[in-house]
Amino acid sequence: MKPCLLLTPLAILAAVGLAGCGSGGSSSNTPNSANGGSPSGTTLALTGAGSTFVNPAMSHWVDQYQRDNPGVTINYQAVGSGAGISQLEAGTVDFAASDVAMSDDELKTMPGPVVQIPMISGCVAMAYNLPGIQSGLKLSGDVIADIYLGKITKWNDPRIVQQNPGVNLPDLAIAVVHRSDASGTSYIFTDYLCNVSAAWKSGPGKGKTVSWPTGVGEPHNDGVAGYIKQSTGGFGYVELAYVIQTNMTCATVKNRSGNYIQPTIDSTSVAVNAAVDSLKKDIRASIVDTSAPQGYPIAGFTYAIVDKTPKDPNKAKASIDFLKWVLGPGQEMASKLQYAPLPKALADLNDTALTQVQTK
């Protein structure tokens, strides 16, 4: 059985349809147009931009929310985390989504104070395209780092063979791919590499963009997924939902406890829950390289970012109503879309944080 093929694309669509009919799509749990901030008979248009990591979930959230709230339309542009933050800074969107929280230095560059909350968690899968090897591939963090450092270039390298006894690894070049845009997915991935490789930490380091020692750059998660799918020997990092939707396979990754862990909703949730105490102290705390024995080591959040003092109170209220819906019924849809729902403790912290936004 393929490690990552938890659902086929058709199964995902079917699951989403069920989500729309269940409690996650119940209009009784959401504000309608009469109390959502827009005058009766008019439509209030919101715009968001940023993360492609969260886009598979965001697309379904927006669709269901608009069904429940016909007085609100939401246009979400999956342009990458860096571009989303830039658009929020420029005042051209009502909210941004980023897979890396803004640092103190970045917050100082914004025209005004912002609130940032994690709205969903997910994992970064190490996808590959090796004919005849549809399951069972194991990789450790140091090997993944050295592939991206250009030190391991063939699939039958002794260090990969050693971790995969009995697997007929080919004498084939590894076709490495990485993101070409400013990407929160890249940040999560490079944050992980810094934790497992001293050479990576002292070299490229972590960031939404880094100087990649090797590989081809492609834009967005779907661009990376497409390159791997089309390239024999392809290898790269992609958000799990894209791996499943494009019917690719991915490796199990060795965690800090020495266990090879499959990227799944459950193994991501284990990593998130293990970090709750740290997240209560700082919502920006990293959850990569988890110490949880059954936790997947390359996991992170997508953060929603909104202005604390928005210029348009009606749009601000509508944005907050949408985000509160995401933290409630939207979380019930998460697992069907291959994301891990937030623990209640984090959802409660988020609700409190959103009260800081001025909507009057």
- For residues 214 and 209, what is the distance between their CA atoms, to the nearest angstrom? 14
**Residue 114 backbone phi and psi in degrees, to 5:** -130, 160
Number of domains observed in the structure of the chain: 2
Query: How many percent of the chain have pLDDT more than 70?
Result: 88
Token pair belonging to 84: 């989303």
User: Last residue of some domain: 280, 299, 318?
Assistant: 299
Q: What is the mean pLDDT of the chain?
A: 89
Note the pLDDT of residue 1. 39
Note whether 161 and 288 are same-domain residues.
yes
Q: Is residue 30 part of a domain?
A: yes
User: Last residue of some domain: 275, 299, 323?
Assistant: 299
Note whether 255 and 283 are same-domain residues.
yes
Reported confidence tier of residue 134, pLDDT bands at 50, 70, 90? confident
Note whether 26 and 115 are same-domain residues.
yes
Note whether 129 and 246 are same-domain residues.
yes
Model confidence over 179-237: pLDDT tens digits? 999 999 999 999 999 999 999 999 999 999 999 999 999 999 999 999 999 999 999 99
User: Which run of H or of E encompasses 47?
Assistant: strand 44-50
Query: Judging by DSSP bridges, how do beta strands 95-98 and 44-50 pair with one another?
Result: parallel
- Check whether 71 has a pLDDT greater than 70: yes
Of the given ranges (55-59, 77-81, 132-136), which has the lowest mean pLDDT? Answer: 132-136
User: Is residue 95 classed as helix, strand or coil in its secondary structure?
Assistant: strand
User: Last residue of some domain: 258, 276, 299?
Assistant: 299
Note whether 141 and 219 are same-domain residues.
yes
- Domain encompassing residue 84: 9-122+300-354
Q: What would the DSSP string read from start to end of 322-357?
A: HHHHHHTHHHHHHGGGT-BPPPHHHHHHHHHHHTTS
* Contact criterion met (CB below 8 Å) for 244 and 265: no
Model confidence over 21-52: pLDDT tens digits? 333 333 333 344 334 444 445 689 999 999 99
Reported confidence tier of residue 330, pLDDT bands at 50, 70, 90? very high
Spatial CB neighbours of 340, under 8 Å, sequence gap ≥ 6: 120, 121, 122, 123, 265, 266, 268, 269, 272, 299, 334
Note the pLDDT of residue 359. 85
Burial 198-216 (b: 16+ CB within 10 A, else e): eebbebbebbbbbebeebe
Note whether 210 and 143 are same-domain residues.
yes
Can you tell me the mean pLDDT for 121-128? 96
Note whether 159 and 118 are same-domain residues.
no
Note whether 223 and 272 are same-domain residues.
yes
Note the pLDDT of residue 26. 36
Note whether 284 and 226 are same-domain residues.
yes
CATH number of the domain within which 118 lies: 3.40.190.10
**Residue 108 backbone phi and psi in degrees, to 5:** -70, -20
Reported confidence tier of residue 4, pLDDT bands at 50, 70, 90? low
160: nearest Cα among 224, 228, 254: 254
Residue showing tokens 């690719």: 248
Q: Is residue 319 part of a domain?
A: yes
98: nearest Cα among 226, 192, 24, 207: 207
